[in-house]
Chain A
Amino acid sequence: MDAKDIEREENDELPVIDGELLEVSAEDEIELGVDEERAVQEKVQTKAAIRQLKGKDKIEQNSKAYLQYLFLPFIFLTVALLGGLRIGIDGGEFLFFRPALICLVFAVLLMLLFFRAKLIVFDSWFSYEFSALRNMANGAVFVSLFAASTQIFNSLIPEQGLPFWVVGFCFFWTLWNNLFAQFETQRLLKSLGGLFGFAFFAKYLVLSNLVSAEQGSWLSRIWQDPAKEAVTYFLDLPRFSSATGYIQFFALVFFLIGLFFIKPKMEDRSAQN
């Protein structure tokens, strides 16, 4: 009996099982592997999406912070710089007009108006719960806004004489009335735009055209345009170069742009970060 015969005998003793041979365990492993891979991929994708969203959010937050803390003070201080600047008619020299006391009073009234119309929500700008740095940064924006407001009145109110009192009284009347009116932020901005625009028109287009811009001696100016010279004398209006009007136009535009970009509520994103 050789080895082959022995093997055949052993095989004959084994029970015969009918059925198909299936490699179940191997396929399961593959399917499980695919699921895991998919789950991992999904996880990675979700993470990437979150990261992207976070990144976008961060960029957006940063750009908002740049706008609030750098752009606004810059634009308001530029208005403060330009608001009192006039250009002399004779030599084109710079004339820096310091604001009259009434301009400060008007600026205070305007600030009150901003608070009442919720253009600035005080509690979200200043609070003891905020860090000192945040309060200071918001304070810097606020102070620059106050300086710009003062200078915009300095720009729009005639420098001296009867027009100073007339335009000053009109401003006071309007601001005082507005103080007790119900205002929305948008309506306030529109109203201020209209008010300042009209004042600009009155001063730099009407009054400045009434004033004699002629150079030379008093006698020669009377000879050239007696009516204008008389109005200049009676209204006691100072004579400036036409460049003054252009400068003040940009000062007013910058001020209104600044107001448009003011955030009523300063968000605290540093806490979220």
Chain B
Amino acid sequence: MKEKHIQILSVVLTLVYGVCVAWLYWAAPKNLEEVSSKARHTIESATTKAKVVTKTYEVDRVKFDEGLKAFRNENFILARDLFERADKQKLDSRTQFYIAYSYYRQGWGRFSNNDELFQKALESVNRVTRLDENFKANDPGLKLSTPVELKNELEEGLRVTADDFNPFKFTRERK
């Protein structure tokens, strides 16, 4: 083999091996089984990021539809999981809006709201605003169709006011 070829091989192999070592320290697998599973996850993540860079990123339609079905069946935990898997990079405003809405509906209570879930819903709805300021949901099942309305509802739910003790408030409906 010519020296030139050895040098090319050296650069390529050093790069490959170096990346593998760096990846191992970054992923820190606990055993050999984890090495393959983490490698698969890293490749998937890298592929998705490449899609984002090349502007070919799309949500997983099948998973999104399954999530929507679970959401309409009020199975919010499953719905959220499917939505999150459909939009791994959290770049689709519609999916993120549904995630926020699932937190809201799950956390809503006639007597008291779950503040933790409402807080998470707020984070998601803020993400929707960042992604698309003019977002509006086309789903007639959602009474709050814009991020502003949903955000207002969530903030109202988190705030403790005298109005919370109004007995007529117990008759309110979930939106």
Contacts and interface: CB of A to CB of B under 8 A. Distances in A.
Interface of A: 61-62, 65-66, 69-70, 73-74, 77, 80-81, 84, 91, 93-96, 98, 133-134, 136-137, 140-141, 143-144, 147, 269-270, 273
B14 interface: yes
Contacts of B11: 133, 136-137, 140
Contacts of A65: 3, 6-7
B18 A69 contact: no
Contacts of B18: 77, 80, 143-144, 147
6 contacts: A74-B17, A77-B14, A80-B21, A81-B21, A81-B24, A140-B14
Given A69-B6, A94-B31, A96-B25, A62 B17 contact: no
B25 A69 contact: no
**Residue in B10, B24, B29 with the greatest tally of chain A CB atoms within 10 Å:** B10
Contacts, number: 74
Interface of B: 1-4, 6-11, 13-15, 17-18, 21, 24-25, 28-31
A197 B81 CA distance: 53
Contacts of B29: 94
A81 B21 CA distance: 6
Nearest to A99: B25
B7 A136 contact: yes
B163 to A, nearest CB: 52
Nearest to A72: B10
B24 A133 contact: no
Given A62-B6, A69-B7, 11 more contacts: A62-B1, A69-B6, A73-B17, A77-B14, A77-B17, A77-B21, A93-B31, A96-B25, A98-B25, A137-B7, A147-B21
